[in-house]
């Protein structure tokens, strides 16, 4: 029995090492398990500190721990290990992807805390399958497929992540990539999810681009891709020609006589009698020559000849676009591609650039200048006789900024989407009218631009500075006026106070008897006042405050 227990512990240790454990000691933890496998969940550090706990799945009881033993275990697939406080779920199924909850209690049955964790059961990714195919323009399409739940794919070439110069396109839904022409090396596709990973690798030799050419007409021109192949149709039926010689610059390459190839001079050039064509493989620069076919009858008489000119060209590479804002708000865009004799074309929102959009164009450097406020979906396409490529971008246009950043005055045109110089809104840019040929005819400036009339920004801001100074002068005058008015009011109050000290003088005071009243023993009479005058009250000495200062003049008693 001890041997069996020991063996079980050894197996448990091995499985624990193989299966990544999940730390469920933190509330809200996420755990991942392999479908059909097992997962170990660490519930606690020391089970002796917890007298009782319940472990549930979606509020459905799985088992109860009480008095140092498991009570009422509901699932034989789930085992608890008191020695390290962990639980194991074996033979993981899809419906094990649930929320699990641990509820802890003290000796009196009172809940002391709880934690939850989310278990996600996933099928592991299967072995990766790679397939590839060459496209018509020499690009290579590679597909990477793996089974499993939520696989994530990544690609490397010779140990590094694929770059734009190597990757022509990528479809993340189907996980199909298209590599550019002449890309070779050690390609690896890796697939992984949270529970497993797998990869597949292959050595790419690149795709040889094959072109075709009709050489049955005298003076034909043919084009081939450097490093690729070209098929040349020499005749309709070889049975009608007893003998012919095919030459390059009068040097014989192959001889056909009596339905047999005689003395082929180059293994790269096979002849196909079934359709009367010849192929040149692994094209090189010095294969760009004039080729000539001479035909003969059974008597060795020349019955005719034809020539063709072959041009071997390097395919155009991936296109690089760059843009910059100019001093007057136009946008300069440069389109660059490597290859032989590239031809460039531009479209904006699907149409060829017009004079109202295009300010200037340099065909030698392939740099265009767009007018102010031009935005949209811009595409630069490059092609030559053997290949083509394109690059596109969404233009947001240029905006004029005029602000101060870190104490530095900034007044310039910048690309709107990349503007990190100023956070203030851009000012209204100057607008300029142009003729259809791109020459300036009239300028209507609604705001300052950095080069208006050739003056620097501090000269152009003089009117604004003068306005601010005038406003300050007005505020100063208003302040002085306010002070003067306030002082005048104060003086007026002082004068009024001084006038309160004046005395009242009565002149021509008469006493008139009221009519209609009965005169009694002590008669009352009305007093009339005339010529009431105010005069300055003389200063009274403080030594004799009882003096009466009232003066009556010409007091008469009227009857």
Q: What is the tens place of the pLDDT at every residue in 393-436?
A: 888 888 887 777 777 777 778 776 656 666 544 444 554 444 43
Q: What is the tens place of the pLDDT at every residue in 489-527?
A: 666 555 454 544 544 444 444 544 444 444 344 444 444
- pLDDT category, 186, cuts 50, 70, 90? very high
Mean pLDDT of the chain: 78
Alpha-carbon torsion 519, 523, 524, 529, what sign? positive
Whether residue 180 contacts residue 139, with contact meaning beta carbons closer than 8 Å, is answered with yes
Q: Do domains 14-122 and 210-313 have the same CATH topology?
A: yes
Q: What is the tens place of the pLDDT at every residue in 51-68?
A: 899 999 988 899 999 888
The predicted structure's pLDDT at residue 125? 93
SS3 at position 14: helix
The predicted structure's pLDDT at residue 53? 93
Of 1.10.1060.10, 3.30.300.30, 3.40.30.10, 2.60.40.10, the CATH number of 14-122 is 2.60.40.10
The predicted structure's pLDDT at residue 407? 74
Share of the chain above pLDDT 70, in %: 74
Q: What is the tens place of the pLDDT at every residue in 249-288?
A: 888 999 998 888 887 778 889 999 988 999 998 899 999 9
- pLDDT category, 204, cuts 50, 70, 90? confident
Whether residue 178 contacts residue 135, with contact meaning beta carbons closer than 8 Å, is answered with yes
SS3 at position 284: coil
The pTM score is 0.46
The predicted structure's pLDDT at residue 453? 46
Residues 6 or more apart whose CB falls under 8 angstroms from that of 185 comprise: 157, 158, 203, 204
Task: Classify domain 129-204 at the CATH topology level.
Answer: Immunoglobulin-like (2.60.40)
Above 90 in pLDDT, residue 368? yes
Over range 218-239, report the average pLDDT. Answer: 89
Whether residue 449 contacts residue 429, with contact meaning beta carbons closer than 8 Å, is answered with yes
List the single range of 201-210, 222-231, 442-451, 543-552 with lowest mean pLDDT. 442-451
The predicted structure's pLDDT at residue 71? 83
The predicted structure's pLDDT at residue 459? 60
Domain boundaries, the chain: 14-122, 129-204, 210-313, 399-460, 503-511+526-538+549-559
- pLDDT category, 176, cuts 50, 70, 90? very high
Q: Hey, what CATH class is 210-313 in?
A: mainly beta
Q: Concatenated DSSP letters for 188-233? A: EEEEE-SS-EEEEEEEE-----EEEEE-SSTTEEEEEETTSEEEEE
């Amino acid at each position: 029995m001890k041997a069996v227990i020991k063996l079980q512990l050894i197996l448990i240790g091995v499985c624990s090492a193989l299966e990544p454990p999940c730390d469920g000691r933190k509330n809200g933890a996420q755990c991942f398990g392999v479908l059909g496998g097992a997962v170990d969940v660490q519930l606690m550090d020391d089970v002796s500190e917890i007298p009782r706990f319940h472990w549930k799945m979606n509020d459905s009881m799985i088992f109860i721990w009480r008095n140092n033993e498991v009570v009422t275990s509901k699932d034989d697939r789930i085992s608890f290990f008191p020695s390290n406080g962990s639980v194991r779920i074996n033979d993981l199924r899809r419906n094990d992807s649930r929320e699990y909850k641990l509820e802890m209690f003290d000796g009196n049955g009172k809940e002391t805390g709880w934690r939850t964790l989310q278990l996600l059961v996933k099928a592991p990714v299967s072995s990766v399958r790679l397939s590839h195919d060459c496209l018509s323009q020499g690009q290579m399409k590679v597909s990477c497929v793996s089974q499993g739940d939520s696989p994530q794919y990544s690609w490397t070439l010779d140990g590094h992540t694929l770059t734009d110069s190597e990757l022509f396109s990528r479809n993340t839904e189907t996980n199909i990539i298209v590599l550019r022409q002449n890309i070779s090396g050690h390609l690896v596709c890796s697939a992984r999810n949270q529970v497993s990973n797998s990869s597949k690798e292959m050595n790419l030799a690149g795709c040889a681009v094959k072109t075709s050419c009709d050489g049955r007409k005298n003076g034909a021109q043919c084009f081939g891709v450097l490093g690729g192949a070209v098929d040349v149709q020499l005749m309709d039926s070889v049975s009608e020609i007893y003998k012919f010689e095919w030459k390059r610059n009068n040097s014989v390459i192959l001889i056909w006589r009596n339905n047999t190839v005689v003395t082929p001079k180059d293994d790269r050039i096979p002849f196909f009698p079934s359709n009367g064509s010849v192929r040149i493989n692994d094209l090189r620069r010095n294969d760009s020559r004039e080729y000539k076919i001479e035909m003969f009858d059974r008597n060795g008489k020349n019955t005719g000849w034809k020539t063709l000119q072959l041009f071997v060209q390097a395919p155009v590479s991936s296109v690089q676009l760059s843009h910059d804002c100019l001093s007057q708000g136009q946008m300069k865009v440069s389109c660059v591609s490597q290859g032989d004799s590239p031809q460039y074309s531009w479209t904006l929102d699907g149409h060829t650039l017009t004079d109202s959009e295009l300010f200037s164009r340099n065909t030698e450097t392939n740099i265009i200048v767009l007018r102010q406020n031009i935005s949209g979906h811009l595409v630069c396409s490059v092609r030559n006789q053997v290949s083509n490529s394109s690059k596109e971008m969404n233009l947001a246009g240029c905006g004029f900024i005029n602000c101060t950043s870190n104490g530095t005055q900034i007044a310039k045109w910048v690309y709107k989407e990349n503007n990190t110089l100023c956070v203030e809104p851009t000012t209204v840019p100057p607008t300029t009218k142009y003729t259809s040929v791109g020459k300036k005819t009239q300028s209507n400036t609604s705001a300052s631009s950095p080069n208006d009339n050739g003056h620097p920004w501090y000269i152009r801001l003089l009117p604004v500075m003068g306005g601010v100074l005038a406003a300050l002068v007005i505020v100063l005058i208003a302040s002085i006026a306010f002070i003067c008015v306030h002082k005048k009011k104060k003086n007026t109050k002082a004068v009024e106070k001084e006038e309160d000290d004046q005395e009242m003088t009565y002149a021509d005071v008469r006493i008139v008897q009221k009519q209609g009243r009965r005169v009694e023993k002590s008669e009352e009479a009305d007093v009339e006042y005339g010529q009431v005058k105010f005069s300055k009250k003389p200063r009274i000495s403080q030594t004799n405050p009882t003096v009466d200062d009232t003066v009556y003049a010409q007091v008469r008693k009227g009857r």
